[in-house]
Structure 1
Amino acid sequence: MKLQGRISLSVGWITLFLMGTDLFVVSPLLPFISEVYKVSASTTGWMVTVFAVTYAFSAPCFGWLSDIKERRTLITFGLLLFAISNMLTAFSPSFLWLIVSRILAGLSVASITPLIYAIIGDTAPPNRRGTWLSIVVSGHLTALWAGAPIGMLLEHFLGWRSVFVVMAIIGAVLAAVNFKTWESIPKNGLTRNLLEGNLLRILGSVSVTTIWAISMYTLYVYLGAALYSKNKFSSSEIALAVAFYGVGAVLGSLTSGQLTDKFGEEKISKVTLILLILILICLGIFFSSGDWIYFFLLFIWALVGYAGFTSYQARLAVEYPKERGIVMAWNNTALYIGITIGSMIGGYVISNWGYSSLPYVCSVAAIVSFVLSTQKVQEAKKDSAFSTDT
């Protein structure tokens, strides 16, 4: 790999690690924020909700803009807005301003995360695209088990406001770094409507990610509660379980990139979905098993699940070369929609059938995702054959 490639990947990785930290660190900080602003825990939870909703609705707009304008400009703008929004979160004079700051944060991350995926897809060598994407995805996932704990350490010694101040400073520095790193990437210069005739196809493709997210997050959102209720895990054991999951997610993403480049995006995404179905069934069977068996299963679940997510992102990057920005943005929106639906389904399942039913419901979602993925492959082949004939 050339020096410029290493620099691009490093900048992409660090940027997505920061975005992931901002996403994952807020939830554990909510009790401290709630105490300062004298609001209930459920009210404080709106910080997470408004962030997610803003991200989901604004990401496709930034993706579309990035396909007709310069991605570098939008990423730089996003990082500057990220710095401002996090500084406002740290020093909001009221809870209303705190909510406004998280709306701005959601807007900023929506203009960064999918565009980093897209610009890496633009710059990666065709035979290394899967590996490059897997590396930057691992930055986002590393925040799950490393970024959030680092934030909690800062909170312990300096208070919760320091977490957002530090992220704001790093965001401002990264704005300059990203502006310099991507200066050699030309504008697309396209003026035609990139969505013309493609919107339904794009939505169909990213629906696979929505169902995949349901298969992962219907259980993950309630994992801590499930382990405490059914397996009597202590808080430290729950933290260890999440760590096993986080490490599995990172390794799955990194491994997937190399396998994708070797065997192809389509094959790896299909194989990982089949394995995901089997792992989820095993999670259900061994739901109340001993600690180490369950830790191992959580590790394998994340390993296989996120390997599938990374390979499918690489597949989308190949299938939509000219619409890469908006497709990556829609795929991230699909991810957030899936997480939201998954949490709602999980709540319903717990109320009616209990925690032990969650893995089986997730396995059904994984089966649906596999069927949709296979159908999209067949449609793509038909389109390719039609284009060749004409």
Structure 2
Amino acid sequence: MNEITENKANYGIIAILTIGAILVVSLLYVTIPLLPVLAEAYGVPQSRLVWVGSGFGFAYAFGTIVFGTWSDRARRRNILVGGLFVLVLSSVSVRLSPSVEWLIALRTVQGFIAASFPPVALAYVGDVIAPRLRSVAISIISCGFLLAGVLGQLYASAMEQIVSWKEVFDVLAVCYLIIAVCILRLPAGVVSGDKTSVRTVIGRLFGLFRIAPLLATYAVAVTLLLSFVAMYSGLGTHIADAFGMGGRGLMWIRLAGIPGILMSPLAGQSIKRFGASKVLIAGLSIATAGIAFEALSTTVFALVVSSVIFVAGISITVPGIIVRINQLGGNARGSAVALYSFFVFIGASIGQILSSSLMHHGFRFLGISLAAILCAAAVVAWVSSQATLSMYGGNARKAS
């Protein structure tokens, strides 16, 4: 296979995995704009629907560990395809929920199954993508994960207005079926051949915590969606109070963040040139500056520009941190990426709680607090990179 043909094949794989990433991760966000509609449909207050999102979230976090670890012992393509087929059935079941209790239960199941895609897809990249394109692939797929946060909400809002909330899940089910068929046509990848016991696999998973630079990287990972979710959770109240803008204004500000998210694929080339550690530290520094300026903004224009800088920083950081985790995880990269997904989503869950608590003191206080958290994360990342240099010596460039 010549280089041009190989590049086309690789970018075809990347495109399919990225579209799948957007579609699957959107499930985390589609119920946010649907809560008022669901409350009316089931005749309950919105407070009873909190577990429609939280149940999904906790199950998703747990599922990343299960599927990511499993992917180190099985063919990753099969896990991706099987998970998508089950997700088709799960999505159809959610729209048929006869009561709130069933809705919460089925969303929890859906969250667990959805976790079969993100960590396994990232590990699958290492199986089938040429080494020179892996950092680019991870950057593009990571961009898809972030885009899902905006596109998932936009999609759900539009579908609910055009037809009904049930069709949100119907259309997604059809999309999952199409993506599953497409992935079936991709290279099979490799099987580690690891026949060790489940106890040994779990021991190996916990063994990752003994790698100090990896543990520090997980601590940094917690801050990513923590700050992302906390900022957007507080932004709605802030623009309403400070500028008299409603939900539509918030959605336009979210849309304005898309150019920042599109910085993620560009990080791939920077990683190849400067290394993952330098890129993630730079991304964290940009995000810190963005959220700090956002907190101090007194006009809508300044707020929008600052939010784009903040989102761009997060978008640059994500591929850098994933590449670093892949490198430090070694042969257990599936488990390592699964733990990353777990910690990132734990951060997202904390972010909403943190925003609710700190917004009592105003958006400026929230923004400055998040800037301090991200600044601390940048320091931890730098210290971790120095520790990696000491651990790996001559091979430090490969690990950092």
| Band of TM-score, shorter chain | over 0.9
Measure how far apart 1:384 and its partner are. 1.4
Give the SS at the match of 1:181: coil
Where do residues 63-142 of structure 1 align in structure 2 (5 Å cutoff)?
A: 63-142=68-147
* 8 Å CA contact retained: 2:231, 2:367: yes
Counterpart in 2 of 1:215?
Answer: 227
Does 1:260 pair with 2:271?
A: yes
| 1:339-354 superposed matches below 5 A | 339-351=348-360, 353-354=361-362
- Between the aligned partners of 1:298 and 1:342, the Cα distance in structure 2 is 16
Distance 1:189 1:196, change over 3 A: farther
Q: Is residue 386 of structure 2 the alignment partner of residue 378 of structure 1?
A: yes
The CA deviation at 1:99 is 1.2
Residues 256, 304 of structure 2: 8 Å contact kept: yes
Contact 1:214–1:342 (8 Å) recurs in 2: yes
Report which stretch shifted further, 139-148 or 78-87: 139-148
The residue that corresponds to 1:190 in the other structure is: 194
> How far 1:379 moved relative to its partner?
2.6
CA gap of 1:225–1:314, structure 2 versus 1, over 3 A, is same
Q: Quote the residue 1:42 is aligned against.
A: 47
CA distance in 1, matches of 2:43, 2:346: 30
2:317 to 305, 308, 321: 308
State the one-letter code of the partner of 1:240.
W
Aligned to 2:176: 171
Inter-partner Cα distance in structure 2 for 1:42 and 1:161: 20
- Tell me the TM-score normalized by structure 1: 0.92
1:387 Cα deviation after fit? 9.2
8 Å Cα contact 1:79/1:171 also seen in 2: yes
Q: Please tell me whether the aligned partners of residues 253 and 307 of structure 1 are also in contact (alpha carbons under 8 angstroms).
A: yes
> CA offset at residue 196 of structure 1?
6.5
Match of 1:206 among 218, 221, 238: 218
Q: Distance in 2 between matches of 1:16 and 1:73?
A: 16
Hey, what does 1:334 align to over in structure 2?
Answer: 343
Question: Match of 2:376?
Answer: 368
2-side partners of 1:203 and 1:78: how far apart? 29
Per the TM alignment, residue 357 of structure 1 is displaced from its structure 2 partner at its CA by 0.6
Matched to 2:366, the amino acid is: L
Tell me which amino acid in the other structure corresponds to 1:167: L
Q: 1:179 to 1:205 in 2, by over 3 A?
A: same
Cα offset, 1:122, TM superposition: 3.0
User: How far apart, CA to CA, are the structure 1 residues paired with 2:288 and 2:144?
Assistant: 26
Unaligned runs of 5+ in 2: 1-5
Task: Please state if 1:32 is matched with 2:37.
Answer: yes
Q: What per-residue deviation string (whole Å, max 9, x for no partner) do you get for residues 66-120 of structure 1? A: 0111111211221112111110111112222211211111111111111111112
CA distance in 2, matches of 1:47, 1:56: 15
Is the Cα contact below 8 Å between 1:144 and 1:246 reproduced in 2? no
Equivalent position of 2:257 in the other structure: 245
Give the whole-Å Cα distance in 1 for the aligned partners of 2:349 and 2:374.
16
Q: How far is the alpha carbon of 1:332 from its aligned partner?
A: 1.0
Conserved in 1, the CA contact under 8 Å of 2:18 and 2:141?
yes
Q: Cα RMSD between the aligned structures?
A: 2.0
Question: Which 10-residue stretch deviates more, 291-300 or 341-350?
Answer: 341-350
Between the aligned partners of 1:385 and 1:140, the Cα distance in structure 2 is 34
Percent of aligned pairs sharing the same letter: 22
Distance 1:369 1:84 in 2: 40
Which segments of structure 1 move beyond 4 Å, counting only runs of 4 or more? none
Structure 1 gap ranges (5+): none
What CA distance in whole angstroms lies between the structure 2 residues aligned with 1:197 and 1:99? 34
